[in-house]
């Protein structure tokens, strides 16, 4: 087992049972979600990717997009 994972387990074992269970539930949910996305991407055909890309190109050409910095603006107080 990786050293980092062992460190995580060690720290989690110090927590009360309810907190350990909450963390475990979150990790399991994240793992299931990641697997679902992996399966979806693997099942996506080239034609589906091409349609998605063309849709994005049309939105960009129509100026129907939002600048990246507007969506993921950095809070100056956190810099």
The pTM score is 0.62
Interhelix angle for 3-13 vs 17-43, to 10°? 140
Q: Residue 55: which domain range?
A: 18-61
Is 39 part of a structural domain of the chain?
Answer: yes
pLDDT, one tens digit per residue, over 7-61 is 999 999 999 999 999 999 999 999 999 999 999 999 999 999 999 999 999 999 9
Residue 72 DSSP one-character state: S
Name the residue among 60, 52, 22, 57 with its Cα closest to residue 12: 22
Share of the chain above pLDDT 70, in %: 96
Name the DSSP class of 78: G
Task: Note whether residue 8 is domain-resident.
Answer: no
Judge whether 45 lies within some domain. yes
The structural domain count of the chain equals 1
> Residue 71 falls within a domain, yes or no?
no
- Alpha-carbon dihedral sign for residues 7, 12, 13, 14: positive
pLDDT at 29: 97
C-beta atoms surrounding 12 within 10 Å: 13
């Amino acid at each position: 087992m990786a050293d980092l994972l062992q460190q995580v387990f060690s720290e989690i074992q110090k927590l009360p049972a309810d907190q350990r269970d909450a963390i475990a539930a979150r990790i399991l949910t994240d793992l299931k979600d990641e697997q679902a996305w992996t399966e979806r991407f693997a099942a996506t055909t080239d034609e589906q990717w091409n349609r998605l890309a063309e849709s994005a190109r049309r939105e960009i050409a129509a100026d129907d997009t939002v600048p990246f910095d507007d969506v993921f603006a950095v809070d100056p107080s956190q810099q």
